[in-house]
Structure 1
Amino acid sequence: MIPATGAMWRRGHIVSEITHSQTLVNLPPTTAAVLSRNRANIAVYAAIGAEPGVAVALEDLISDEQLRVESFNRRVLEPLDLGRILAIRVEDKLTGLCTEIALFRSLDDPPFGSEAKYLLARAAPLMTAAATQSYFLNAARPTARHWNRPTALVDSEGRVYHAQDSFLSMIQKHFPSWRGGPLPFDIPDDTMRSEITVGRLTVFVEVDKDLAYVRIWERGALERLTDREREIADAIASGRSYKSVARDLDISPSTVSNHLQRIYTKLAVSSRDELASLVNSGAD
């Protein structure tokens, strides 16, 4: 869409400026490190940080004549054959993520101009959304447990690196005060795989090197029961008597009755028939 001699895609966090990933296209491998060390001296990065969603060209901020005589250009940009930069920053305030897309040309090439800025501003949000969708299509391995649940990729502190819209919607539904940043619950880090309950959500965590997949779903009615309550519910729903269940579990019939009242309350049912219907329907 926009002719350029090279490009760079950087994804990180808005506040901390932690870089999650960088992709270079037709640029020397050292380019990302050099530009990262010198960000404060490259005016275009300050400009896109001040106005996310707006494509900015370096020629809008400094003339070619000035750039040619600046020591910074001769020391940093010129050796990389970078004289013209067109960049944009796409921010997601909810997750705290930002994506920067930068296109480069030599100073001897034509300026990027207004059409290039317009095209990049239109394309960048779509490219960012497509990249996230592509990531999760690859991550949704049918061999992984709960692969089809709403998913996010987070670090050990719960900061989101990628997230499906369905994941963010569910988090907001159950934690209305969440405004981005680390997830509103702790991520287990002592096992490769773990499943925890957070309110009415089931959270499955699968560690992948330094990051973790977090998959969430709303707990079904029967998942609200304790193991003992589920055991009693299954038995009573099958038509067994209090005495029979009590004998097998080595508890008194009155204890079975007390458990059953709590089961009825949790499941919002009021009879054996309603309980049996729920259990047999596989509502969990």
Structure 2
Amino acid sequence: MKIAILSGKGGTGKTFVAVNLAAALGKSTYVDCDVEEPNGKLFFKPEIIEKKKVTIYLPAFDKEKCVGCRECVDFCRFNALVFIKGTPIVFPEICHPCGGCKIVCKYDAVSEEKKEVGEVLVGKSGETHFLSGIMNIGEASGVPVIKELLGSIPDNRNTVIDCPPGSGCMVMESIKDVDYCILVAEPTEFGRHNLEMVHQLVTVFEKPLGIVLNKCTEEENPSKDFCLENKIDIVAEIPFDKDLGRDNSNGEIVYYSNDKAKRIFNVLSGIVEKKVCQ
């Protein structure tokens, strides 16, 4: 069972839900795919047992062999290749290292150069298998790091994937093979807007989903209104609670330290398991 935790923006409580759900599931795998700013390690405090460099292969051109046929340029659907004054040039920031330009070159003028783009950490924290990645500073995309992370997930455990915030390419990569998505939202108009955005993305991917409403009070909740108006399943409502907020801010997994949180996440884990098995 693979569960993705998403939010339309940072600060909604996405990691709060992800780490505590992973704890509630017992022998689980937690995957921190927020590779621009991973913070799951602040909660699990894992013992790191392995570090793996993430590399990609970018095209390199042999100007002596290149005849200027432009087949590589015509092949590249991302427009990462151009010819300027008869010289092939690659824009690494928009290259999706598929290797296609090397395959289509009839003159063996294209080779590949390895480039390090990030790192994956493998660790353990109690019963939880821990995976986290971070992209190198200056890299345009964390997708290669996320692919390496997702390829490192063991098959025999329930998995909670802590996605990047928003609805961009890294989020799409994170959810493409999951069984269920949990969308975390705040009780504000801004929270509703961001919930709508990420809900559209998950709907395009045709993934079953449920909403966790976080920081709930007795006041108006536009995010809840959106769910009711569109008949979207609300799987948990977590109250605004100073104790939970304080402990979470101190890097604690509140499932272990707060009875109220333990009840909430035990119920949530049971609901999710039932929905995945339907």
Q: Which has the higher contact order (CA 8 A, sep 6+)?
A: 2
**TM-score under structure 1 normalisation?**
0.22
Q: Is the radius of gyration larger for structure 1 or structure 2?
A: 1
Answer 1 or 2: which has greater strand percent. 2
Normalized against structure 2, the TM-score is what? 0.22
